[in-house]
Amino acid sequence: MSTQKAQKIVNDFVITFSTINGSGSATANNTLLRALFKMGIPVSGKNIFPSNIQGLPTWYSIRVSKQGYTARLAMDDIVVAMNPVTVARELKYILPNGVLFYADHIQLPEGRSDVTKYPMPVQAIVKEAAVPSELRDYISNMVYVGVLSHILGISLEDIRGSLEFHFKGKQKPIQSNFSIVEKAAKWAEQNLTKRDPYTVSPLHKTADCIMSDGNVAGALGSLYGGLQFTAWYPITPASSLSESIIEWAPVLRKDPKTGKSNVVVVQSEDELAAIGMAIGAGWAGLRSMTSTSGPGLSLMTEYLGLAYYSEVPVVIWDVQRVGPSTGLPTRTAQGDITSTYFMSHGDTQFVMLFPGSVNECFQFGWQALDIAERLQTPVMVMIDLDLGMNQWMTKKFEYPTTPMDRGKILWEEGLQKMLDKRDGDWGRYLDIDGDGIAYRTVPGNQHPQSAYFNRGTGHNEYAKYSEEPEVWERVMNRIAKKFETVKKYLPKSSISHMQDARNGIIAYGSTDPAVEEARDRLKKQGILTDYLRIRSVPFGKEVEKFISDHKKCFVVEMNRDGQMKQLLCANYPDHANHLVKTCHLDGLPLTAQWIYDQVSFEGK
């Protein structure tokens, strides 16, 4: 025992749960995740699931990290095997001298004598409990919660606390689940001897943090941003964003007069209609958004071209998954970067925001609505399945720091003042302030001169149909000017330096934790890096400076073709030779190890 104590590994390991889709394992996994978080230990959870409702293998990994690292690791320290079909595969992913917990009805393959193996009498414990037979499968996962709690040292009180939260205080399910946990923990106490080094111990590192996923955060941020209308069509991995609006709107946005939520939600017949509705609402003066993923965004592109050209504010969340085509619908990617940048036919531009954490999903949720109305254009918020659907430890949400910005909108009085000041000269697309942004009116305005004809066909400054060559060019150039003006409203890149670093890393979105961890590891090897995290497109001046200041910039991203690198090359051709394509896509979140390998190989 004494030698094992010397090797004790505290608060620094990965557990992967291998279960069968639809068996209710999410409850068990979330229960453990929450209990660890409650103990003050930094955690992250990642669900690797199939496009299936019931029956196929599914994995859930919890990373426990005293340093606060939340990126995915490729290998497991501990595996909990509940699925006989995949156990041979799981054994291969266990690190040397790791641990396997397995349901004792599973026949283990030969080999891996280095691994400590703990059986769990899942069927016996469930059978013993007075649980209705139809609930047995769901509740059987609580056996590993109990066994693991005992072996790793998670207090049962914390487990109970997370069950209380999960079942919103409903005693019946709490009790039936908790009774299994208790039985299993007791069984472990009486029958298992701890032979592995892994253990947890309370820390105080989660006090300023919350646990949430990006889709919930995006929904909440939008509600704090005054969202009034959303139309959506179900698609993995974006659905839970709209569903969270449905869940939270009645809580946060109850109209004091009517007692009802003042947010309209429409489930449309497809994405073609979702974007049409969202654009209609945005045009008519509502704060409007939709959320989708790659295939849906492909369908929305024609309407978004019209919104760009006729200058309609609308927000679109793209929770990216692996494409092209149906691709890997339940796996993560950053693969819609170039297609969104160049979306729709003709000359177009789109504002893109890249939240890099769940906290930023909240922040960009309200900011996106402000930017869309300020600029009168579609704003794309680009996240991915990993950020959108997985549970992340993140900083507490902060109340919006600036008042709501409704942009240049004229109601009756404002329009009259404008007309008086300018001898009656107002046009919907007239650049009065010289910043490229015109003043708009919206339906319902009762001023007899407020109305205009919104069209995707050529139009002049007064919204009149025009095919005049110089009018077309003038209007398009004026629209382009807006995208210079917008830069002061966009979130700037976040930059962190290491003294004497010659090389840089450029990344965006969900890869941030893997990049930060890789930089720490590189530093230990004497490889110093500066880091720029892109938070918006069009790029700010700081991006060009960062690229020109560094001999090599590794553009880290989750796609095959280096899409952000392509955009950077197109924007800064003079510095293109500084940029190093550093991309990888297999459907799984990037690991720090992979980034480390690329940068240490090239970056010395």
Among 399, 401, 467, 470, interactor with another protein by CB under 8 A: 399
Write the interaction track for another protein spanning residues 212-231; mark x where CB under 8 A is met and - where it is not. Answer: x---x---x--xxxxxxx-x
Q: How many positions of this chain bind another protein (CB under 8 A)?
A: 78
Phi, psi for 520 (deg, rounded to 5):
-60, -45
The answer to whether 520 and 477 are in contact (CB under 8 A) is no
Q: Which of 13, 17, 37, 187 binds another protein (CB under 8 A)?
A: 37
129, 306, 553, 583: which one binds another protein (CB under 8 A): 306
Specify whether the backbone of 391 is left (phi greater than 0), alpha (psi in -120 to 50) or beta.
beta
Most distant CA pair in the chain, distance? 91
- DSSP label of 488: G
Q: Which stretch binds another protein (CB under 8 A): 50-58, 134-142, 204-212, 348-356?
A: 204-212
> How far apart (Å, rounded) are the C-alpha atoms in residues 21 and 536?
37
Which of 16, 34, 293, 566 touches another protein (CB under 8 A)?
34
From the list 66, 89, 117, 406, which residue makes contact with another protein (rule: CB under 8 A)? 406
| Min dist. Cβ of residue 174 to another protein (A) | 15
For 67-94, b/e burial (b = at least 16 CB within 10 A) is ebbbbbbeebbbbbbbbeebbeebbebb
Binding mask 463-492 toward another protein (x if CB under 8 A, else -) reads --x---------------------------
What's the rounded Cα separation, in Å, for the pair 536 and 491? Answer: 6
Structure token pair of residue 503: 């090389």
- End-to-end alpha carbon distance in the chain: 43
From 283-291, 345-353, 559-567, 576-584, give the range in contact with another protein by CB under 8 A. Answer: 283-291
Least separation in angstroms between CB 50 and another protein = 27
Minimum CB separation of residue 269 from another protein in Å reads: 4
Q: Give the x-and-dash track for 354-393 against another protein (CB under 8 A).
A: ----------------------------------------
Residue with tokens 């946005």: 253
What tokens appear for 164 in the block? 């209380």
Does position 426 bind another protein by CB under 8 A? no
- Are the C-beta atoms of 528 and 500 separated by less than 8 Å? yes
Q: Which of residues 437-466 bind another protein (CB under 8 A)?
A: 441-457, 465
Cβ contacts of 196 within 8 Å, gap of 6 or more? 78, 98, 99, 116, 151
User: Which H or E run contains 294?
Assistant: helix 294-310
Between 6 and 207, name the residue whose CB sits nearer to another protein.
Answer: 207
Q: Of residues 228-267, which lie at the interface with another protein (CB under 8 A)?
A: 228-229, 231, 252-253, 255-258, 260, 262, 264, 266
Q: Residue 303 or residue 596: which is nearer to another protein going by CB? A: 303
Of these, 56, 135, 284, 471, which contacts another protein (CB under 8 A)? 284
